[in-house]
Chain A
Amino acid sequence: MTKISVKVNGKRYDVPDVEPRMLLSDFLRDRLGLTGTHVGCEHGVCGACTVLVNGDSARSCLMLAVQTDGADILTVEGLGSPEELNVLQSQFREHHGLQCGYCTPGMLMTGEDLLRKYPLATDEEIREGLSGNLCRCTGYQNIVAAIRSAAAMRTGKES
Chain B
Amino acid sequence: MKPTKFDYVSPSTVEAVIEALVASNGDGKLLAGGQSLLPLLNFRMARPSVLIDLNRIEGLSYIKDRGDRIAIGALTRHRDIELSPLIASKLPVMSAAMRHVAHLAIRNRGTIGGSLSHADPAAELPMLAVFYDATVLIRGPHGLRMVAAEEFFVDALTSCLKPDEIVVEVEFPVLDHGGWAFEEIARRFGDFALASIALSVRRTGGGLEGARIAVMGVADTPVRLKQAERELVALPLDEQAPELCSEIIASKVSPNDDLHASGEYRMHLLKHLSRRALRTALASTDQTA
Contact = CB atoms under 8 A, between A and B. Distances in A.
B partners with A? yes
B42 A23 contact: yes
User: Is the interface on chain B under 10, 10 to 19, 20 to 34, or 35 or more residues?
Assistant: 20 to 34
B42 A57 contact: no
B105 A131 contact: no
A72 interface: no
A58 B109 contact: yes
Interface in B97-133: 99, 102-106, 108-109
B146 to A, nearest CB: 30
B34 interface: yes
A131 B189 contact: yes
A44 B39 contact: yes
A7 B41 CA distance: 26
Secondary structure of the A contact surface, majority rule: mixed
Contacts of B43: 43
B53 A63 contact: no
A66 B5 CA distance: 14
A127 to B, nearest CB: 7
Contacts, number: 95
Contacts of B188: 131
Interface in A17-75: 19-21, 23, 26, 42-44, 47, 50, 56-59, 61-64, 66-67
B190 A132 contact: yes
A19 B189 CA distance: 35
Interface residues of A, number: 31
A113 B79 CA distance: 12
Interface in B1-34: 1-8, 10, 31, 34
B35 interface: yes
A62 B190 contact: no
B31 to A, nearest CB: 8
Contacts of A44: 35, 38-39, 106
B55 interface: yes
A44 B43 CA distance: 11
Given A20-B6, A128-B99, A62 B104 contact: no
B87 interface: no
A21 B35 contact: no
B55 A67 contact: yes
A59 B53 contact: no
Interface in A101-141: 110, 113-114, 117, 127-129, 131-133
Contacts of B51: 20, 64
B107 to A, nearest CB: 9
Contacts of A23: 2-3, 38, 42
A21 B108 contact: no
B81 to A, nearest CB: 15
A22 to B, nearest CB: 8
Contact of A47 (B1, B6, B105, B189): B105
10 A-B pairs with least C-beta separation: A132-B103, A20-B8, A43-B39, A56-B108, A62-B38, A131-B189, A57-B105, A21-B3, A42-B1, A131-B190
5 contacts: A64-B51, A64-B53, A67-B55, A117-B104, A132-B106
